[in-house]
Amino acid sequence: MPHTIVIFGASGDLTSRKLVPAIYNLMRCGKLPAETRIVGMSRTPLSDEQWRAMLEESTRTFAGESRFDAETWVAFAAGIHYQPGDIEVDADFASLKTRLAEIEGSGTATRVYYLATAPRFYKPAVEALGRHGMAEESRGARRIVVEKPFGTDLATAKQLNACLHSVFHESQVFRIDHYLGKESVQNLMVLRFANTIFEPVWDRRYIDHVQITVAEEVAVGRRGAYYDTAGVLRDMFQNHLLQLLMVTAMEAPAKYRSDTVRNEKVKVLDAIRVLAADEVAEASIRGQYVGYRHEPGVPTDSQTATFGGIRLEINNWRWQGVPFYLRSGKQMSCRTTQIVIGFRQPPLQLFSGGIPVHGEGNRLVIQIQPAEGIQLHFHTKVPGAGMRLRMTDLDFSYSEQFRDRLPEAYEPLLLDVMQGDASLFARADEVEKSWQIIDPFVDAWRDPAAPRIDLYEPGEWGPASSNRWMEAQGRSWFDICPVLS
């Protein structure tokens, strides 16, 4: 079955940096279905040839010069077409429809519409596709890919879902969170459900707490005006951090299918206690990096959090009493996304004179990016006299074990969309429940009566109050930058 990927936002950053290099790499590796075409639409007037030339240059850069092969590109570029058009002009969809019919001919084709454009265009694009009968499936499957943000709170997420559902069935909608395309995230499911040694200890009896961190070294840069309305909670927590939490905490589905996997993930969200406004202060900590208020587009008195830590409780048999700490920030010590499973201390402290080694239970560290791997931290005896202990680790690194290039997250995800597999995409109810959990934090942090925000210097792991907050709960953050091999 031929495929057509229709990209709205053809001249934009996401298209040139991620989407087209990913599709090109799929072709280079022989994974792209035969007869896959790309049709791009944006307002900039370009011919097919001009768009191909632009994409050739960006694909060389972003797919990697060493992976760029001129012969493959020629074959790939033959399937690239450009249709100038404005999402807000109805007649431009009529032209797009005609152009697609010319390109696809009389046969059937699976068509994927990719919204690689600003969120304010999602609604007009979906409505226009509906008006022009372009979601209708008599000539092949029709799917739509939506980039985050999926709304900015529960109310807007519901509006977006209602808009999507007015034209597409939920089974046609693919809400993309590129974290779920990472090998290491999918491997977390394999680690848990294809091995027998981890699952017996994966619960409240053995696990003290879980930490999930998405730390960025970068500042907000040119995104200041947008970022100040979003803050770290909307930017990172509703999507990436909760996705990682769901994969860490979910039960094993009976089958590995998109509906069964997503049902188990949603059950985790269902079990999370939604906090009342007056509970947020104790269950969270926020900060802002020094210099943020001088970023372009940011008000000089901004109270927006560029760092946040929150504690969630999952009220089910497996996790009752095990706090899940989620943390993210900009301008932090290093770039790392990692999940740390902190195990309980042994019941009897044989080797430390009975004194628990604070914060030094066993740890399983799952590194998502930029390092991709798993480390198990455990105590060993330091050689020599006496019983001195030291933490050492067993280390699995994806890049060392699998010398082949790890695919960029967009590659498997795009292939999944073409094949109709939605396992790694967010479902409507999942998105709405995520906002239900995050909204109370957003509201409480934005309350003018909230205390002034704590500051931190760029290069730190958030404000000093973040460490004090953890220490008050008898724990400490695991602040280690990954060593990349």
Q: Which two tokens stand for residue 118?
A: 């600003």
Q: Alpha carbon 469 to chain centroid distance? A: 26
Q: Which is nearer to ligand NAP, 143 or 311 (CB)?
A: 143
Between the alpha carbon of residue 458 and those of residues 217, 287, 292, 325, 461, the distances in Å are 8, 11, 10, 22, 8
CB of 440 to ligand NAP, least distance (A): 24
Is the preceding peptide bond at 124 cis, omega within 30 degrees of 0? no
CB of 222 to ligand NAP, least distance (A): 11
Q: In the complex with ligand NAP, which residue's Cβ is closer, 223 or 318?
A: 223
What is the C-alpha to C-alpha distance for residues 418 and 240, in angstroms, rounded to an integer? 23
Catalytic residue among 240, 294, 377, 379: 240
- Whichever of 51 and 324 has its CB closer to ligand NAP, that residue is 51
Closest CA to 101 of 133, 145, 143, 55: 133
CB of 350 to ligand NAP, least distance (A): 50
For ligand NAP, give the closer residue by CB, 325 or 435: 435
Q: Contact positions toward ligand NAP, by CB under 6 A?
A: 8-14, 17-18, 42-44, 86-88, 116-119, 121, 147
The 3-state DSSP class for residue 210 equals strand
**Cβ 315 to ligand NAP shortest distance, Å:** 32
Point out the residue whose Cβ comes nearest to ligand NAP: 12
Chain centre distance of CA 83: 30
Q: How far is the CB of 241 from ligand NAP (least distance, A)?
A: 15
CA distance 230 to 146: 18
Question: Is residue 191 helix, strand or coil?
Answer: helix
Q: Which is nearer to ligand NAP, 43 or 293 (CB)?
A: 43
Residue number with CB closer to ligand NAP (93 or 325): 93
Contacts of 252-258 with C-beta under 8 Å, sequence gap 24+, read: 252/192, 252/193, 252/199, 256/423, 257/423, 258/421, 258/422, 258/423, 258/425
**Least distance (Å) between residue 14 CB and ligand NAP:** 3
Pairing of strands 173-176, 80-82: unpaired
Q: How far apart are CA 329 and CA 220, in angstroms?
A: 10
Annotation marks residue 294 as catalytic:
no
Instruction: Give bridge partners of residue 374 from the DSSP assignment.
Output: 366, 396
Positions marked active-site: 240
